[in-house]
Amino acid sequence: MESQRLKKVNSVLQKDLGQLLDAFTRDHFRGTLMSVSEVRVAPDLSYAKVFVSVFPSDRQVAAMELLEKSKGQIRYELGTRVRNQLRVVPDLDFRLDPTLDKRDEVDQLLKGKGDNPFK
């Protein structure tokens, strides 16, 4: 079970990382929307999984590669934002959030396109 403190840290990191990635996409990926859908921090606050949604889908691979290259810079900027709330900034592990793709797939199936298993 997640403690209140972890929930608060997750929400603070999600908000701040969302703002950082918004600025990051304006600088590096014009015409792309990148958002943080979820952050899961380890109980010892040393590690954070950051689930990122990228729209349009065809830019997902390039965006994730650039995020991995810029991980250190993003972590540093995050540290300057949360330095009063956290003693140690967690290591960031960016992962692609598959929910947009799943939603599109279900949408297509409901519209009658694709292989519907219920026919």
pTM given for the model: 0.80
Kindly report, residue by residue over 56-102, the tens digit of the pLDDT.
Answer: 888 888 889 989 999 999 999 999 998 888 888 999 999 998 776 67
Is residue 71 within 8 A of residue 94, CB to CB? The reply is yes
Domain ranges (residues) in the chain: 4-110
Query: Residue for token digits 């799943």?
Result: 102
Q: Return the pLDDT at 1.
A: 60
Q: Return the pLDDT at 117.
A: 59
CA distances in angstroms from 4 to 7, 10, 31, 71, 89, listed in the order given: 5, 10, 37, 27, 18
Q: What's the CATH code, domain 4-110?
A: 3.30.300.20
